[in-house]
Amino acid sequence: MNISQQNNQSTGNSEPGKLRSGNPLIIAGPCSAETPEQLMQTASALALDHRVDYFRAGIWKPRTTPDSFQGVGAPGLQWLQEVRKQTGLKVTTEVGSPKHVEEALKADIDMLWIGARTVSNPFVIQEIADALRGTDIPVLVKNPLSPDIDLWEGAINRMLRTGIKEVGAIHRGFFWWGKSFMRNQPFWHIPLELKRRMPGLLMINDPSHIAGKRDLIAQLSHRAMEHDFSGLMIEVHPTPEKAWSDAAQQLTPRDFLLLMDELFGTEPESSETALLDELRAEVDSMDEMLVWALSVRMELASKIAEVKKEAGLNSLQTGRWQEVLDKVKTLGAQSGMDPDFVEKVYNYIHIQSLSLQNGVLKTGGSKTNDVQTKKEHNFVL
């Protein structure tokens, strides 16, 4: 029996525990702990909703640049303790080193999570696992920055090997190399495949980090629950526009509670209009991604034209185009699309690409005119 199979026995335990109550696991709170007052104001509002299980706040922040807010550090642990004392909410924070683990355990934090940047480094993950050995604190592991399912599974297995009974996963999306309408790409098939590999694994979704902007959080939350995720981690701040980190992706407590009602309210949604609106919103999001991908493709076409110009090549390279067309038609068929439809779409894309390249080539080199381009594509316009 391999390690993955051994650990599936642990993750397959769906008995009620600190994380499992039979209801969706809801974790909410600000991206960062900023002041004791900010934490208490947020927690007091969230405590009014019995569906919130854990209050979250980052006190150590692994920021990209050294000049950005790095978190308040260990003093924030005392603020979390006070939140628990005053509101009754269990508290959780992110750890990124054995020192963080030591301080969080000393402060009796109820649950820990490990962030995407940390999960991307197996050396640090192993050091954190060693620091947690012998404890029974629940631990949630975010996906790594890259869409690497084995790296994610490996981090979870490192936690399980320490003997921790409750280890779960947080899907927070994956880094995308270019500009996109979402901060991170959800790539839903990756967390779903991880659930398949590790039956019984508690998997929650972090729509805040996928979205990067608050107006997408509801849509992503709905999608996660439709995929049978075990819960949500959502960033909430009393005044998001003034937040010291990730201001654009945090909800107000009021908006968060409205979202909870929308997702888990006692009144069942009987209106098909709501579902239609949600699906249309998702189509709108896909349209944004399509337009973005097309714009990037056209930028690359212009750069290719510069190279062709230097080499004295024509804009139309028939052999290369046929390779591209054959590939995308095959991919389309594998995805359940009509290859003829894919060919028509790509012919239009190619005509625009050639038009851009001809604009670059017109000061020198050869030029394929639009009439010849349309003839090559068998277009009647």
297 and 247 in a common domain:
no
206 and 78 in a common domain:
yes
- Asked whether residue 96 is assigned to any structural domain, the reply reads yes
Where does the pLDDT of residue 287 fall: very low under 50, low under 70, confident under 90, or very high at 90 and above?
confident
CA distances from 53 to 37, 49, 255 (A): 21, 9, 18
Six-digit token string for 356: 């851009």
- Asked whether residue 381 is assigned to any structural domain, the reply reads no
pLDDT of residue 267: 52
Q: Is residue 283 over pLDDT 80?
A: no
Mean pLDDT for 48-56 is: 95
Where does the pLDDT of residue 274 fall: very low under 50, low under 70, confident under 90, or very high at 90 and above?
low
- Asked whether residue 255 is assigned to any structural domain, the reply reads yes
pLDDT of residue 357: 93
List the CATH number of the domain containing 65.
3.20.20.70
pLDDT of residue 330: 96
pLDDT of residue 277: 66
pLDDT of residue 362: 86
122 and 28 in a common domain:
yes
- Asked whether residue 186 is assigned to any structural domain, the reply reads yes
pLDDT of residue 76: 97
Q: Is 48 helix (H, G, I), strand (E, B) or coil?
A: coil
Where does the pLDDT of residue 272 fall: very low under 50, low under 70, confident under 90, or very high at 90 and above?
low
Q: Is residue 129 over pLDDT 60?
A: yes
Mean pLDDT for 153-177 is: 94
236 and 343 in a common domain:
no
Q: Which residues constitute the domain of residue 65?
A: 3-264
Q: What is the pTM of this model?
A: 0.75
- Asked whether residue 292 is assigned to any structural domain, the reply reads yes
103 and 65 in a common domain:
yes
Helices (H), the chain: 3-11, 36-46, 75-87, 98-106, 116-119, 122-132, 149-161, 189-197, 207-211, 217-226, 253-264, 272-311, 318-334, 339-361, 370-376
C-beta of residue 355 within 8 angstroms of C-beta of residue 370:
yes
- Asked whether residue 214 is assigned to any structural domain, the reply reads yes
pLDDT of residue 43: 98
Where does the pLDDT of residue 378 fall: very low under 50, low under 70, confident under 90, or very high at 90 and above?
very low
Residues 310-336 pLDDT 10s:
999 999 999 999 999 999 999 999 999
Cβ of 8: how many Cβ atoms within 10 Å?
19
pLDDT of residue 282: 66
251 and 282 in a common domain:
no
Strands 25-29 and 139-142: unpaired
Report helix angle 149-161 to 122-132, nearest 10. 20
List the CATH number of the domain containing 323.
1.20.59.10
Most confident of 22-26, 126-130, 221-225: 126-130
Mean per-residue pLDDT of the chain: 87
C-beta of residue 157 within 8 angstroms of C-beta of residue 7:
yes
Question: Distance (Å, rounded) from C-alpha 164 to C-alpha 60?
Answer: 23
236 and 181 in a common domain:
yes
Residue 307 sits at the vertex; the CA angle it makes with 306 and 312, to the nearest 5 degrees, is 100
- Asked whether residue 94 is assigned to any structural domain, the reply reads yes
Question: Distance (Å, rounded) from C-alpha 371 to C-alpha 84?
Answer: 72
294 and 256 in a common domain:
no
369 and 244 in a common domain:
no
Q: Tell which wins on pLDDT, 234 or 370.
A: 234
Residue 201 sits at the vertex; the CA angle it makes with 197 and 207, to the nearest 5 degrees, is 105
pLDDT of residue 354: 94
281 and 217 in a common domain:
no
Question: Distance (Å, rounded) from C-alpha 110 to C-alpha 53?
Answer: 11
Q: Is residue 21 over pLDDT 70?
A: no
Q: Is residue 376 over pLDDT 60?
A: no
288 and 257 in a common domain:
no
Mean pLDDT for 342-366 is: 87
Boundary of a domain, candidates 199, 230, 264: 264
Q: Tell which wins on pLDDT, 56 or 365.
A: 56
Boundary of a domain, candidates 213, 229, 264: 264
**The total number of structural domains that make up the chain:** 2
Q: Is 95 helix (H, G, I), strand (E, B) or coil?
A: strand
Q: Is residue 69 over pLDDT 90?
A: no
pLDDT of residue 278: 60
Question: Distance (Å, rounded) from C-alpha 168 to C-alpha 113?
Answer: 9
Q: Is 203 helix (H, G, I), strand (E, B) or coil?
A: strand
Q: Which residue has the tokens 């028939």?
A: 318
Residues 233-264 pLDDT 10s:
999 999 999 999 989 999 999 999 999 999 98
Residues 256-271 pLDDT 10s:
999 999 998 755 554 5
pLDDT of residue 177: 66
pLDDT of residue 198: 97
Where does the pLDDT of residue 372 fall: very low under 50, low under 70, confident under 90, or very high at 90 and above?
very low
- Asked whether residue 317 is assigned to any structural domain, the reply reads yes
Where does the pLDDT of residue 165 fall: very low under 50, low under 70, confident under 90, or very high at 90 and above?
very high
Where does the pLDDT of residue 284 fall: very low under 50, low under 70, confident under 90, or very high at 90 and above?
confident
Boundary of a domain, candidates 264, 296, 324: 264
Q: Tell which wins on pLDDT, 235 or 18.
A: 235
Q: Is residue 125 over pLDDT 50?
A: yes
129 and 75 in a common domain:
yes
